[in-house]
Amino acid sequence: KEVFLSSSAEEKAKEWQKKFQNETKIIGISITAGNKIKELGDEKFEDLIKKILLIENIAIICIGSKNDKERIEALVKKIGSQKFTSETNWSLEELPSLIKRLALYIAVDTGPIYIAHALNVPLIDIIGPCDGSEQPPKDDASIQILPRGEVKPSSFVFKKRGTKEEIEKALKETHIEDILEAVKKILK
């Protein structure tokens, strides 16, 4: 796995990082995915973010595309913490320079998890309805969060998708407590 960093993106990221001088660790979170069926839901992410913000010396950035800006800004405003901001003005070329500066990246199953993995950034991959054996990164720096109980995968890359009910059950049975435990484990 290789990710290439442009010199202009590195300069942008260095300048961006200056605003976090007082924070020891920056956590990136992506609440959106190209495929909406993979998304955990803004309410669960709001609860998770509020709990992570209780950890000392942490700042959280919510990463998304320009198309996600309105939704992400609404979440940032709702949480109302100076330690939680949005980043929606990074191109795909620039994104690796931002991600490499994170202490942890948390995301639903979406493309940037592969950037984080290639850059050896600790990763929490919220699998939801996806089949965790198909593609997601697996190593000591990556933790997959699976739904609780007997929930079978229902979203696949190579097989027919499950029913709407199966997908919804997977998201319902994905608990933020499990994600928070993974955050604490990685930040140790």
Query: Residue 154 pLDDT > 80, yes or no?
Result: no
Q: Mean pLDDT, to the nearest integer, of 28-46? A: 85
Percent of the chain predicted with pLDDT > 90: 53
Q: Are 98 and 119 in contact (CB under 8 A)?
A: no
b (16+ CB within 10 A) / e for 138-177: eeeebbbbbbeeebebbbeeeeeebeeeebebbbbbbebe
Predicted confidence at residue 84, as pLDDT, reads 94
pLDDT band at 157 (very low <50, low <70, confident <90, very high): low
Read off the tokens for 78: 């709702």
Predicted confidence at residue 140, as pLDDT, reads 73
Half-sphere exposure of 78 (CA within 13 A, CB side): 13
Read off the tokens for 17: 């990082």
Read off the tokens for 128: 């939801």
Q: Are 87 and 61 in contact (CB under 8 A)?
A: yes
SS3 82: coil
Q: What is the dihedral of CA 89, 114, 15, 57, to 10 degrees?
A: 110
> Can you give the length of the chain in residues?
188
**Side chain identity at 25, as an amino acid letter?**
K
